[in-house]
Chains A and B, each alone.
Chain A
Amino acid sequence: DGGITQSPKYLFRKEGQNVTLSCEQNLNHDAMYWYRQDPGQGLRLIYYSQIVNDFQKGDIAEGYSVSREKKESFPLTVTSAQKNPTAFYLCASSPSQGARDTEAFFGQGTRLTVV
Chain B
Amino acid sequence: GIQVEQSPPDLILQEGANSTLRCNFSDSVNNLQWFHQNPWGQLINLFYIPSGTKQNGRLSATTVATERYSLLYISSSQTTDSGVYFCAVGGSGTYKYIFGTGTRLKVLA
Contacts and interface: CB of A to CB of B under 8 A. Distances in A.
Tell me, yes or no, whether A binds B.
yes
Interface of A: 31, 33, 35, 37, 41-45, 48, 50, 58, 88, 90, 92, 94, 97, 101-106, 108-109, 111
B31 A43 contact: no
A102 B30 contact: yes
A42 B42 contact: no
The size class of the interface chain B forms with chain A is 20 to 34
Contacts of B88: 43, 104
Nearest to B92: A97
Contact of A42 (B31, B96, B99): B99
B33 A103 contact: yes
The SS class assigned to the A binding surface is: strand
A48 B15 CA distance: 39
B42 to A, nearest CB: 5
